[in-house]
Amino acid sequence: MHAHARALARQQQHPHLSRLFPMPLACQPMPCALNLRMASLETLAQRLRGLVRAEQERRWLQENRDAISSINAFVDRHGLLADRLRMRPTHA
């Protein structure tokens, strides 16, 4: 069985993986990355850090959406304190 056929069979057995790997993998990721001379571990670590950061931000915004909405409504009604304290030049 060719690598492509094995990848398709694996994808059919595990359909949830199709969202992670939209195209069938012709080879295992690490050997392919090494063959392409990619800095695979650093590349994966950077991508993982980005994914974790994005998920943390998404969750923080979700958990704090009521507070964010409340402070935005307050500022819309009352403005910012700094706006009232800022010195504006007088025209002579």
pLDDT single digits (tens) 3-52? 556 666 655 665 555 555 555 555 676 667 666 666 667 788 888 999 99
Pick from 42-46, 57-61, 71-75, 76-80: least confident: 42-46
The confidence score (pLDDT) of residue 4 equals 57
Please say whether the beta carbons of 68 and 61 come within 8 A. yes
User: What are the angstrom distances between the C-alpha of 68 and each of 6, 21, 29, 75, 83?
Assistant: 49, 36, 41, 11, 20
The confidence score (pLDDT) of residue 63 equals 96
